[in-house]
Amino acid sequence: MLLTQGLRQAGVGLLTLRRIYCLSRAAHTSAQKVEYKPIKKVMVANRGEIAIRVFRACTELGFRTVAVYSEQDTGQMHRQKADEAYLIGRGLPPVAAYLHIPDIIKVAKENNVDAIHPGYGFLSERSDFAQACADAGVRFVGPSPEVVRKMGDKVEARAIAISAGVPVVPGTDAPISALQEAQEFANTYGFPIIFKAAYGGGGRGMRVVREYEELEENYQRAYSEALAAFGNGALFVEKFIEKPRHIEVQILGDKYGNVIHLYERDCSIQRRHQKVVEVAPAAQLDPHLRDRLTADSVNLAKQVGYENAGTVEFLLDKHGKHYFIEVNSRLQVEHTVTEEITDVDLVHAQLRVCEGWSLPELGLKQDKIQINGSAIQCRVTTEDPARGFQPDTGRLEVFRSGEGMGIRLDSASAFQGAVISPHYDSLLVKVIASGKDLPTAATKMNRALAEFRVRGVKVGLSVCSHHPPH
């Protein structure tokens, strides 16, 4: 408010400043033959905390926001945080509503939406959705449809990694079509091995096999899980790395071939192949290994012409060797810790890249990206540890969160009176603690988690508080 009043007293309005800024930028970029298409309105084809996260970034950039919601989400906070909100998937099951591409595109076109941000989950890694946006003349805030397709096909992504000189775990070159192929792989490389869904992730269709007698049963289960979750039961087989660290590198590319990394995150603390705690940067990581991980990630991204934000995931074995797993062609749940240690707003960057800005124009040059301190994220979920972490639902009768210096909370339903739906992901709030080093961040995290008071719905606070790294 004070800033706005001061500008007005000086005879300069914020809109005038924005207009002058855009004109001067257009003059600057025209010499570089850069195509710049300003965004005025952004839809988020998602719900919950990630929708609100994107809406906040849009508001800061002066973009109008559009929410979509299912019939079950009429009272959800993300609907209220947007400038406009529209019902999609009338008569459809809750999750199916957010997967109904025709409805989403229809709303976007009818309401002059310039760009659609997919968030994470739902349609975020669906190349057909990215293509539908392009066909409708609406920008997709992410990579091109072809890159989304290539990265979503784990077998093709693996082949691209090999061609880029990135080390991979021994595995099949294509999806297997019969149990016999898995048997032949095990005979060649030995046990343990792991089945993975070729067209999806999140732990579904993933089965570790440690001996020959378990092979057939786990093959059938992995196939069934993959088919149910992704509509395709295709599997591929890899040698299983025992007790690896799970390290991922944040990358960012623009439309002009520039790619940078924003260092790495350690996501090794998982439950049922789902991340629980994420740390940036990775603790006790050899600097030379960090250089190899980040260089491999950038090289892989350049190999496919990667645009916008993405994550390259690796396994790190006990000998310090790293192996490519996959590329997530979207914003990650844990992008927050990278933002905290680099002071780069990744959603701002996504939207600006989508407009046509180059990374250098945004001040995002590799030598300018530095690690500053440490950050930890804990995912507080509405799951009951006493019942094997089964999702819990109901109304939050009491909700008081941890607060204070160095604590960031990203949420959508974390408030007294909120109704926790049984239809969607169990994430209640992301707690992010940052400090000058990892012990400081861990101390802040433990203190913040201890301050939480939640009644009405069971939450998995104990899981987080037992795991923050020191």
User: What pLDDT sits at residue 173?
Assistant: 82
pLDDT band with cut points at 50, 70 and 90 for residue 199: confident
Q: How wide is the angle at C-alpha 128 spanned by C-alphas 127 and 134, nearest 5°?
A: 90
Neighbours of 376 (CB within 10 A): 29
Residue 13 pLDDT exceeds 50 = no
Question: What kind and span of H or E run contains 465?
Answer: helix 461-465
Quickly list H helices, 251-334. 287-304
Q: Are 387 and 97 in contact (CB under 8 A)?
A: no
Distance between CA atoms of 288 and 294, rounded to whole angstroms? 10
User: What pLDDT sits at residue 155?
Assistant: 81
Question: Which amino acid would we find at residue 95?
Answer: V
Q: What are phi and psi of 84, to 5 degrees?
A: -135, 150
User: What pLDDT sits at residue 25?
Assistant: 46
Q: What is the DSSP letter of 31?
A: T
Helix axes 2-9, 14-30, angle to 10 degrees: 80
Partners of 42 in the β-ladder: 65, 115
Tens of pLDDT, residue by residue over 403-449, are: 999 999 999 999 999 999 999 989 999 999 999 999 999 999 999 99
Question: Which amino acid would we find at residue 52?
Answer: I
Quickly list H helices, 137-279. 145-152, 154-163, 179-189, 215-230
Closest-CA residue to 253 (of 302, 300, 291): 302
Mean pLDDT in residue range 53-77: 98
Contacts (Cβ under 8 Å, ≥6 apart) of 409: 401, 402, 403, 429, 430, 431, 432
Mean pLDDT in residue range 22-45: 67
| N- to C-terminal Cα separation, the chain | 41
Distance between CA atoms of 355 and 432, rounded to whole angstroms? 29
Lookup result for tokens 């192929």: 181
Tens of pLDDT, residue by residue over 254-295, are: 999 999 999 999 999 888 777 899 999 999 999 999 999 999
Partners of 390 in the β-ladder: 384
Q: How wide is the angle at C-alpha 224 spanned by C-alphas 219 and 230, nearest 5°?
A: 120
Residue 89 pLDDT exceeds 50 = yes
Contacts (Cβ under 8 Å, ≥6 apart) of 134: 140, 145
User: What pLDDT sits at residue 5?
Assistant: 44
User: What pLDDT sits at residue 14?
Assistant: 37
User: What pLDDT sits at residue 33?
Assistant: 53
How crowded is the C-beta side of 249, counted as CA atoms within 13 Å? 29
Q: What SS3 state is found at 374? A: strand
Question: Which amino acid would we find at residue 65?
Answer: T
Q: What SS3 state is found at 132? A: helix
Could you tell me the two tokens for 22? 């855009």
Task: Provide the greatest CA pair distance for the chain.
Answer: 79
pLDDT band with cut points at 50, 70 and 90 for residue 202: low
Quick one: what percent of the chain has pLDDT higher than 70?
91
pLDDT band with cut points at 50, 70 and 90 for residue 298: very high
Helix axes 215-230, 179-189, angle to 10 degrees: 120
Tens of pLDDT, residue by residue over 171-185, are: 988 899 899 999 999
Could you tell me the two tokens for 292? 């190899």
If you average pLDDT over every residue of the chain, what do you get? 91
pLDDT band with cut points at 50, 70 and 90 for residue 26: very low
How crowded is the C-beta side of 236, counted as CA atoms within 13 Å? 21
Neighbours of 373 (CB within 10 A): 17
Tens of pLDDT, residue by residue over 447-463, are: 999 999 999 999 988 66
- Residues carrying an active site annotation: 330
Q: What are phi and psi of 94, to 5 degrees?
A: -55, -50
